[in-house]
Amino acid sequence: MNEFLIDVHAHLNDERYNNLNETLKNAKQSKVEKIICVSYDFESSKKALKLSTENENIYAAIGIHPNNSGFFSQDFIDFLTKNYQNKKVVAIGEIGLDYHYENFDKEKQRNVFIAQLKLADTFGLPVQVHCRNAMNDTLEILTEHRNLLKNGGIMHCFKGSFENLRKVGELGLKISVGGVVTFKNAIETQELIEKVPLDMILFETDCPYLTPHPYRGKINEPKFLELTVQKTAELKDISFQKMMQISTENCCKIFKKLK
Ligand SMILES: [Zn+2]
């Protein structure tokens, strides 16, 4: 049985992690033995690959975040083409739609999202989907291109209705639960988690963001993942250990190179 946790979405490629050895040591002490370092532009993709090459416990997801759609280029595609077979490159991500900030280019985001879904399919990799204030369009694109989802994937930091969740499940995707579930005012998220099937649950920190309660305001890091797992286990009325085993098994089914 899996007696460890996997942080499926962490930005260790962020410049704030200037003492990575310490961060990894703390993670390991909190049972987080594997971490997927997720990219958001071309530079962070290169850094994720580098970190995964240098550190046994780090794996890389390579991709262009919707807010950085302008970084999607032939150079980026060439980089991915050259490295997708690397045993530490486990996913394409994060990709998707983000309508949160002003002046976003909807059409550009859509095109870059679909182009990366195609790359994931071509290269046989699962996807990590980011969706902010854009659930309907995201689900529409995923449904329209469901033939590109044969390698599965996750909706990271899932925030939506139970109906949305059911759709995600129908598409063969899972969700990853982040620190928000521990927030005292996150009633909607907690109610949703109570209803999510156990075989759809993975865990993430999305560090350095979304630090779980009671450490909100501090920089998040993988060692805090256990707080999210603990809270979710309580909501599902199962033990921490059981929640850990199930989520790690779910994770290894999708991100096959982590086995
Ligand atoms: Zn992220």
Domain ranges of the chain: 5-258
Q: What is the distance in A from the centroid of ligand 1 to the CA of 91?
A: 13
Q: What is the distance in A from the centroid of ligand 1 to the CA of 225?
A: 14
Q: What is the distance in A from the centroid of ligand 1 to the CA of 191?
A: 23
Q: What is the distance in A from the centroid of ligand 1 to the CA of 40?
A: 7
Model pLDDT, residue 102? 86
Give the end-to-end CA distance of the chain in Å, rounded to a whole number: 12
- pLDDT tens, position by position, 139-198: 999 999 999 999 999 999 999 999 999 999 999 999 999 999 999 999 999 999 999 999
Candidates 3.50.50.60, 3.40.50.12780, 1.10.540.10, 3.20.20.140; CATH matching 5-258: 3.20.20.140
Q: Specify the 3-state DSSP secondary structure of 83.
A: helix
Distance set, CA 171 to CA 45, 148, 167, 200 (Å): 26, 10, 6, 12
Using CB atoms within 10 Å of the CB of residue 2, give its burial: 0 to 12 exposed, 13 to 18 middle, 19+ buried: middle
Residues lower than pLDDT 70 in the chain:
none
pTM of the entire predicted model: 0.97
Model pLDDT, residue 94? 98
Strand order in the sheet with 127-132: 5-10, 32-38, 58-62, 89-98, 127-132, 153-155, 174-177, 201-203
Model pLDDT, residue 154? 98
Q: What is the distance in A from the centroid of ligand 1 to the CA of 239?
A: 27
Q: What is the distance in A from the centroid of ligand 1 to the CA of 9?
A: 6
Q: What is the distance in A from the centroid of ligand 1 to the CA of 36?
A: 11
Question: Distance (Å, rounded) from C-alpha 9 to C-alpha 256?
Answer: 15
Model pLDDT, residue 259? 79
